[in-house]
Amino acid sequence: DIQMTQSPSSLSASVGDSVTITCRASQSITTYLNWYQKKPGEAPKLLIYTAYSLQSGAPSRFSGSASGTDFTLSISSLQPEDSATYYCQQSYTIPRTFGQGTKVEIK
Amino acid sequence: EVQLVESGGGLVKPGGSLRLSCAGSGFTFSNAWMSWVRQTPGKGLEWLGRIKSTATGGAIDYAAPVKGRFTISRDDSENTMYLQMNSLEIEDTGVYHCTTDNSLGTFDDWGQGSLVTVSS
């Protein structure tokens, strides 16, 4: 199975800050990497697909990038409603696997 | 608007069984590939398995931790997918979501989830 490792496991930042979350795959997944936002009591939401593409309806302050087996989710200007846990997920092969999540808190 | 609604969760003893349902609307269910994903306290989000559309063969794939214990099926006449869970373990406790599973392997639409608690 492909292992997905996220870092950091949690972070705290202020409104307006830029934030970056990293996800590393244990082997090549080309750009089959997706990002989800999960808030307590809500269903996860797809934010970014195939590493770079912004899902319809997701705010433009979210962006994704890739370099080899390393992927990043960036939030350009953190908003209060961005307080959530973010997960990466590879869709290169079965079984689909997720990172362990990064909890983003607002100071 | 796509809607997915899970039902059937509850409290069950270790070794017991439970069947979850996922009712879909707002899209052509029979053409959809569907997955089950759970969120557990210890492991975050975990993919459990996928069923392809009947038109593309209806093949089913499972994650290793549930293979042989869980069974995914679908009834396109009822726009419903099922997850039969047998030999439940305490570690299976969590919220179970059904999702659409799209051509890029993304989970675009999710249900709100059904809580399963395995406890003696």
Structure tokens of B113? 């989830």
Contact between A91 and B44 using a beta-carbon 8 Å cutoff:
no
The whole-number pLDDT of residue B103 equals 87
Q: Which residues of B41-69 are buried (b: 16+ CB within 10 A; e: fewer)?
A: eeebbbbbbbbbbeeeeeeebbbeebeee
Q: Give the integer Cα–Cα distance in Å for B55 and B28.
A: 12
**Residue of B60, B105, B61, B98 lying closest to B80 (CA atoms):** B98
A32, closest residue in chain B (CA to CA): B104
The whole-number pLDDT of residue B42 equals 76
Q: What pairs with residue A67 in β-bridges?
A: A70
Chain A / chain B CB contacts < 8 angstroms:
61
Nearest to B107 among A46, A50, A95 (CB): A46
DSSP annotation of B110: B
Q: Are B102 and B53 in contact (CB under 8 A)?
A: no
- Peptide bond preceding A44: is omega within 30 degrees of 0, i.e. cis? no
Q: Give the integer Cα–Cα distance in Å for A18 and A58.
A: 17
Q: Give the integer Cα–Cα distance in Å for A106 and A104.
A: 7
Strand-pair category, A62-67 with A70-75? antiparallel
Contact between A36 and B45 using a beta-carbon 8 Å cutoff:
yes
Structure tokens of A71? 């992927």
Q: What distance in Å separates residue A13's CA from the closest CA in chain B?
A: 22
DSSP string, A33-80: EEEEEE-TTS--EEEEETTTEEPTTS-TTEEEEEETTEEEEEESS--G
The whole-number pLDDT of residue B41 equals 85
Count of residues making up chain B: 120
The whole-number pLDDT of residue B43 equals 80
B101, closest residue in chain A (CA to CA): A91
Q: Which residues of A touch B61 (CB under 8 A)?
A: 94-95
Structure tokens of B72? 């995914």
The per-residue pLDDT for range A24-80, each reduced to its tens digit, is 999 999 999 999 999 999 999 999 999 999 999 999 999 999 999 999 999 999 999
Residue with tokens 């990497």: A33
pLDDT profile of chain B (120 residues), mean per 10:
97 98 97 97 92 95 97 98 98 97 94 97
The whole-number pLDDT of residue B89 equals 96
Amino acid at the residue A37:
Q
The whole-number pLDDT of residue A72 equals 98
For B13, other C-beta atoms within 10 Å of its C-beta total 11
